[in-house]
């Protein structure tokens, strides 16, 4: 069975590394839930003209921006930023 997996941009990984351990665990938990159910309702969407739809997941302390590649079964994490 081909499961979904997440792919991180380097900037996203660097921002996750800056978080406190408990925050990193929470982000990791959200990322794993996204791979288990990538079609869950996002908190927001970003629709740049002539580009793909970016989905947003907000936590208490961080915003995760991602998009889905259904063909490759990957959740691409393009940005993690403190809010």
pLDDT tens-place string over residues 18-40: 999 999 999 999 999 999 999 99
- Say if residue 19 is exposed, middle or buried (CB neighbours under 10 Å; 0-12, 13-18, 19+): middle
DSSP string for residues in the chain: ----EEEE-HHHHHHHHHS-HHHHHHHHHHHHHHHH-TTSPPSEEE--TTSPPEEEEE-SSEEEEEEEETTTTEEEEEEEEE-
Structure confidence by residue, pLDDT tens digits, 60-79: 999 999 999 999 999 999 99
This prediction has a pTM of 0.90
Show me where the domains of the chain are located: 5-82
| CATH match for 5-82 among 3.40.50.300, 3.20.20.70, 3.30.2310.20, 3.20.20.120 | 3.30.2310.20
| Cβ atoms of 76 and 7 closer than 8 Å | yes
């Amino acid at each position: 069975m081909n499961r979904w997996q997440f792919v991180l941009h380097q900037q996203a990984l660097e921002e996750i590394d800056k978080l406190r351990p408990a925050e990193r665990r929470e982000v990791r938990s959200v990322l794993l839930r996204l791979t288990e159910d990538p079609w869950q309702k996002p908190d927001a969407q970003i629709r740049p003209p002539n580009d793909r739809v970016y989905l947003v997941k907000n936590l208490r302390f961080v915003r995760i921006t991602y998009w889905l590649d259904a063909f490759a079964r990957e959740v691409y994490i393009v940005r993690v930023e403190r809010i």
